[in-house]
């Protein structure tokens, strides 16, 4: 059995797509990197819209999420793809090694690669056909393959490669078989609504349109503009606090948008969504409340993942929370958080489990918006995270509707936003 490296908690910032605070530059219009007009990623849905009080979430009914995971049949390493709920086996694929895998959004294709040079393979789970992708030029000797993500149209695969301390971003076209170098960038955010991705290099944010190959550079907003947006109840955000050390980009909200946090009052943190292209406050998302002294016994909760729940009008968050008098003596907790009533902002009170699910990493939301699927994990030590099971959770009741046990021997959870050895998608209806 291969021993897979586990990355320390220091990698959390890089994995959640965060960069250091932007320089104070003018919030002017973006500059296109080509002579043509800049491409934008927009959707008609309004993420700040309030949910209808008559909307009643439907019970979990599928179609079932699909889970791909490593496993063994005797001495043979295989990838199994199953339907969660029915546990029907969609495919069993014999492989020699694996480092990255990714199911396509419709659950019909699977990418697998070793990540240490060589090739990746795309498997068509319905026809049984496959195609190889030569990655030897992108991942050199001693390098590794980073995250691989499908575009929403499934016409492209996006890769990160890490070689000798340099990270690069690549795009593979399924139509032409071409691999295109996009940029040398460490922080990458993948769109889930349009074929547009975003990356950050030296605090400069750029969007890349996969269909046209056009890049658009977005200037960093001035602190003064952010301060106006994030001032609540007469209190201004503290730019020296951890809440304002970085921006996190979320292309799946339509245009590339940032969330930032601000302190509302003693013992309370407020998370807001800000469209930094238009410098518009989109929504107050959630408030975190504690009886502890802020930044003495209780540190800022960090939202590592955010899912817009379009049908409900609110959001599903994945949170890292640190409590303790010192960093050395602190305790770290991870949990999913959302509003059972589908209202925003919702309040997360420390120690109250009413709308939180501990140690569950959300991966995908059901097509009807009533449930989500994720990984339940444990942390046997400070630097190790192991996947225990895949769970389907009802958003209205927080009830675990279905749980599928998984082998912790071959599936590792890296801290704690990316899973090696397993991937889940919820195919759209």
**Strand bridging mode 280-289 / 346-349:** parallel
- For residue 295, the model assigns a pLDDT of 67
Provide the residue range defining the domain that includes 219.
9-425
**393-420 pLDDT per residue, tens:** 999 989 999 999 987 655 677 767 778 8
Tell me the C-alpha to C-alpha distance, in Å, between residue 52 and each of 49, 282, 342, 349, 368.
Answer: 9, 18, 9, 25, 15
**30-43 pLDDT per residue, tens:** 343 332 222 333 22
- Give burial (CB, 10 Å; 0-12/13-18/19+) of 40: middle
Greater model confidence, 246 or 70: 70
Answer for the pair 249, 256: CB distance below 8 angstroms, yes or no.
Answer: yes
- For residue 283, the model assigns a pLDDT of 86
Inside any domain, residue 198: yes
- For residue 71, the model assigns a pLDDT of 87
Inside any domain, residue 4: no
pLDDT band for position 337 (50/70/90)?
Answer: very high
Inside any domain, residue 2: no
**Strand ordering across the sheet containing 331-337:** 302-309, 314-323, 331-337, 356-358
What does the pLDDT average to over 3-21?
A: 31
pLDDT band for position 357 (50/70/90)?
Answer: very high
**218-237 pLDDT per residue, tens:** 877 777 777 888 777 777 77
Inside any domain, residue 1: no
Here the contacts of 350-357 (C-beta below 8 Å, separation 24 or greater) are 350/288, 350/289, 350/290, 350/291, 350/292, 350/298, 350/321, 350/323, 354/398, 355/398, 356/319, 357/393, 357/398
Inside any domain, residue 50: yes
pLDDT band for position 247 (50/70/90)?
Answer: low
Greater model confidence, 284 or 4: 284
pLDDT tops 60 at residue 52:
no
Greater model confidence, 228 or 45: 228
Greater model confidence, 291 or 265: 291
Percentage of the chain modeled with pLDDT above 70: 77
Inside any domain, residue 153: yes
CA dihedral (275, 278, 283, 288) in degrees, to 10, reads 50
Q: Measured between alpha carbons, how far is 256 from 115 in angstroms, rounded to an integer?
A: 29
Answer for the pair 257, 271: CB distance below 8 angstroms, yes or no.
Answer: no
Predicted TM-score (pTM) of this structure: 0.82
Q: What is the CATH number of the domain that holds 205?
A: 2.130.10
Inside any domain, residue 359: yes
The tally of domains found in the chain comes to 1
Greater model confidence, 378 or 381: 378
Place of tokens 């609540």: 232
């Amino acid at each position: 059995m291969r021993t897979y490296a586990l990355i320390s908690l220091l990698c959390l910032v890089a994995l959640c797509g965060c960069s250091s605070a932007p320089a104070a530059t003018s919030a002017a219009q973006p500059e296109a990197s080509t002579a043509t007009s800049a491409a934008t990623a927009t959707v008609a849905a309004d993420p700040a819209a309030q949910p209808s009080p008559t909307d009643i979430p439907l019970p979990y009914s599928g179609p079932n999420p699909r889970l791909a995971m490593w496993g063994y049949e005797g001495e043979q390493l295989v990838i199994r793809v199953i339907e969660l709920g029915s546990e029907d086996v969609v495919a069993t694929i014999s492989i020699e090694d694996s480092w990255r895998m990714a199911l396509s959004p419709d659950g019909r294709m699977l990418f697998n690669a070793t990540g240490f040079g060589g090739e990746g393979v795309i498997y068509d789970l319905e026809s049984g056909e496959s195609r190889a992708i030569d990655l030897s030029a992108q991942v050199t000797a001693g390098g590794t393959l980073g995250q691989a993500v499908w575009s929403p149209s499934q016409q492209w695969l996006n890769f990160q490669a890490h070689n000798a301390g340099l990270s690069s971003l690549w795009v593979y076209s399924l139509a032409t078989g071409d691999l295109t170098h996009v940029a040398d960038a460490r922080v990458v955010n993948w769109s889930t609504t349009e074929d547009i991705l975003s990356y950050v290099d030296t605090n400069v944010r750029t969007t890349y349109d996969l269909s046209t190959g056009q890049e658009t550079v977005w200037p960093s907003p001035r602190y003064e503009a952010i301060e106006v947006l994030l001032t609540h109840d007469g209190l201004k955000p503290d730019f020296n606090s951890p809440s304002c050390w970085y921006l996190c980009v979320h292309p799946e909200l339509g245009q590339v948008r940032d969330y930032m946090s601000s302190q509302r009052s003693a013992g309370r943190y407020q998370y807001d969504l800000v469209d930094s292209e238009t410098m518009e406050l989109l929504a107050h998302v959630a408030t975190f409340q504690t009886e502890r002294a802020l930044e003495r016994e209780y540190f800022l909760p960090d939202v590592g993942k955010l899912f817009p729940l379009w049908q409900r009008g609110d959001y599903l968050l994945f949170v890292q929370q640190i409590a303790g008098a010192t960093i050395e003596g602190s305790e770290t907790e991870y949990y999913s958080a959302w509003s059972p009533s589908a209202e925003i902002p919702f309040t997360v009170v420390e120690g109250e489990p009413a709308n939180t699910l501990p140690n569950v990493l959300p991966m995908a939301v059901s097509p009807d918006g009533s449930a989500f699927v994720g990984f339940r994990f444990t942390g046997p030590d400070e630097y190790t995270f192991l996947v225990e099971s895949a769970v389907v959770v009802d958003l209205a009741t927080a009830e675990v509707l279905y749980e599928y046990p998984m082998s912790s021997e071959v599936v590792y959870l890296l801290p704690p936003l990316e899973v090696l050895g397993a991937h889940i998608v919820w195919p759209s209806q």
